[in-house]
Amino acid sequence: MGTTRIKVIDLSSDKKEIKTARKHAEKLTGVVKLKGTKSTESTKGTKGKDEAPEEVTKDQQVSPQKQTPPPSPADQDPRTSSTSRTSTHHHHLGKKYNQATQLIDRTKLYSPQEALDLLAKTSYVKFDPTVEIHLNVADKNINGKVNLPHPIAKKKEKKILVFSDPPPKTQATAGQNIIAGDDTTIEEISSGKLKPSRDFDAVFSTPKFMPQLAKIAKILGPAGLMPNPKNGTVIEDVSAALKNSSDESLEYKTDPTAAIIHTSLGKLSNKPKDIEENLKTLIFAIGPSKIKKATLTSTMGPPIKIDIGTISK
């Protein structure tokens, strides 16, 4: 590589410029090598050991920077403002929903019959929507189970595994398939040949078989199918247990974050009288005195307030 030559202007000299090599320019100007924000030792005495230090040019000289005031709110671009982004983000309801809402008097409490008639008129979806009930209740810890008089929706055939001695001889009711369980069945569940929720949907057992079922408790437990006296699956009377399991039961409980119960009562295609009877059964199972407000709605439809005082036994 050749020697790099630079121009050095010495204001104290009569000569306008001096052409010299880099190392001579460093001696004339007193330039020092910079590392980060700290200056190193002068290059004097380090000839041939360290790399040549960088020069400080006129543009690199440290000078007080002009402080630019922050832009005023009026000068800010609203597209980049976090405030404008959150304030202009709104949920817009559809045209069909707004048209359906106009058919409902928001200040009125409707009887169940009137509300069900409005549900049919205000539903605009192309599928069969679910009829939903939303109850504001006085207590945050309300929960229970109720047998509804009419099914909420069509369900697949339920496969019930029954461990009893002698094996169950009861004929299955509508929608049930009874499977007799024994020691071989337990081994097949343990080996994975039979799997919960795929090969059977519920398990009933007499107390006699419970010690044997303990072997597969780690398999049935996580699936929620381990027989338990509290949920009525450890039984003595197999026939009665199977009959009760065929009933249309509904579990209800308050929302974890508020004193509200959300549940369904059936499909809009069901007979209005059947949905009304399901609603009546649910109201009296919870207790009318515990219900502050009731709202009926269908999937994607507007809400309709119900006067539960018009519901009688």
Q: Domain spans of the chain?
A: 10-39, 95-152+249-310, 158-245
**Structure tokens given for 219:** 């398999």
φ/ψ bin of 112: left (φ > 0), alpha (ψ from -120 to 50), beta (otherwise)? alpha
Handedness of CA 197, 200, 206, 212 (dihedral sign): negative
Residue 222, CA atoms < 13 Å, CB-side half-sphere:
4
- Domain 95-152+249-310 part of CATH 3.30.70.1290: no
Q: Give tens-digit pLDDT for 20-56.
A: 555 555 555 554 444 444 444 444 444 444 444 444 4
Question: Cis peptide leading into 272, omega within 30 of 0?
Answer: no
Q: Cα–Cα distance between 254 and 134 in angstroms, integer?
A: 10
Q: Give tens-digit pLDDT for 100-140.
A: 889 999 899 999 999 999 999 999 999 999 999 999 999 88
**Structure tokens given for 154:** 């069509």
pLDDT at 272 over 80: yes
Q: Give tens-digit pLDDT for 197-254.
A: 889 988 999 999 999 999 999 999 988 899 998 778 898 888 777 776 655 578 888 9
116-139 burial by CB neighbour count: b if 16+ within 10 A, else e? bebbeebbbeeeebbbbbbbebee
Nearest 5°: CA angle at 10, between 4 and 11?
155
User: What CATH number should be reported for the domain whose range is 158-245?
Assistant: 3.40.50.790
Which among 144, 177, 147, 173 has a CA at the least distance from the CA of 160?
177
